[in-house]
Amino acid sequence: AWRARIGALDQKVSTKNSAYKVLRALLNYAVARKLIEKSPMSGLRPFRDPCAVPDAVKLRYYTKDEFQKFIAVGKKEAEAADTLRAWGIYIFFMLAYYTGMRKGEINALRWNDVEGSYIWVRRSITQKIKGEKWVETPPKTPASVRRIQMPAPLIAALDEHKARQMKAEGWEPSLFICGGPAPIPDTVLENANKTWGERAGLPHITVHEFRHSHASLLCNAGINIKEIARRLGHSDVETTLKTYAH
C-alpha cells in the first residue's frame, strides 16, 4: 500500500527512492534494536523509471590491470601516511575488489568475521541517519548472509593489517577491520576513491562499482554464474544475469 501510494505521486523516481531509503533504514534500525522481528521492506525493490532502457554501456568497472594501477596509488598513500586510518582505507578497496561485498557490508566487517581464508558476511552499516553517525543493521537480504573465500593477495593484505592493529592499544577481535573502533565515513572513502583514480589516470567509478569490478573479474575467470550470484549475495541467478549477462 505504501509503495502504491508513493509510486502514484507526481515526483521524480530519485525522490521516491529517497523516501524508500529512509523508510528502509528506519525499519532496519528497528530490527537491529529488536523492536520488530523483520522489516516489512524485505523483498520490496526500489522504484524504477518505467521508461528507462537498460544500457550495458552504463555499467562501469575496473579491469584487473586498471585495479592494479588504482590500488598501487592507494598503497603509496597508506605508506606515506602510515596511520591505521590510511591503511584501513587501502584495505577497504582491497576487500571491495576481491570480494564484491557491498560498502555497508565491508564497513561492518570485524576481525572475528574472518575464519582462515574465508569471510563471513553477517551485518551491514548504514550511515547518514539523522541523529546517528552510523547504525549496524542486518544485511540487505537473507541471501546476503554468506561466506566468501578470499584470494591470496587479499589474505596477505589482511594479515599485515591485523598485525598493525594488534600493535595499537585496546585491540580486540570485535574491532572493525577497516575502521577499528568505528566505521570509516562514506565521504572519506569517496574522496580517496576519486583521488586515487585521478592519480592513476583512470576513469572515475563509484565505490559501489567496485562490486561490478569484482563480478567482471569472476566472469573473465570463468567462474560459474551460480557461484558469482552467491558471492554477490543475490537471492537468485536471474538478478545476476540481468546485470552481467553482457
Neighbour-count burial of 127, counting CB atoms closer than 10 A to its CB (0-12 exposed, 13-18 middle, 19+ buried): middle
Neighbours of 18 (CB within 10 A): 13
- What pLDDT, on the 0 to 100 scale, is given for residue 93? 98
pLDDT in tens, 174-220: 999 999 999 999 999 999 999 999 999 999 999 999 999 999 999 98
Please state the φ and ψ torsions of residue 207, each to the nearest 5 degrees: -60, -40
- What pLDDT, on the 0 to 100 scale, is given for residue 130? 72
Please say whether the beta carbons of 230 and 146 come within 8 A. Answer: yes
- What pLDDT, on the 0 to 100 scale, is given for residue 54? 52
Please state the φ and ψ torsions of residue 218, each to the nearest 5 degrees: -65, -45
Distance CA 155, CA 99 (A): 11
pLDDT in tens, 60-108: 999 999 999 999 999 999 999 999 999 999 999 999 999 999 999 999 9
- What pLDDT, on the 0 to 100 scale, is given for residue 3? 84
- What pLDDT, on the 0 to 100 scale, is given for residue 52? 59
Q: What is the pTM of this model?
A: 0.77
Give a three-class secondary structure readout of 224-235: CHHHHHHHHCCC
Neighbour-count burial of 83, counting CB atoms closer than 10 A to its CB (0-12 exposed, 13-18 middle, 19+ buried): exposed
1 or 78, higher pLDDT: 78
pLDDT in tens, 231-244: 999 988 888 888 87
pLDDT in tens, 111-159: 999 999 999 999 999 887 777 789 998 888 888 999 999 999 999 999 9
Question: Beta strands 124-129 and 132-137: pairing type?
Answer: antiparallel
pLDDT in tens, 10-62: 888 889 999 999 998 999 999 999 999 889 887 788 888 765 545 545 689 99
Could you tell me which of 147, 156, 82 has the C-alpha nearest to residue 118? 147
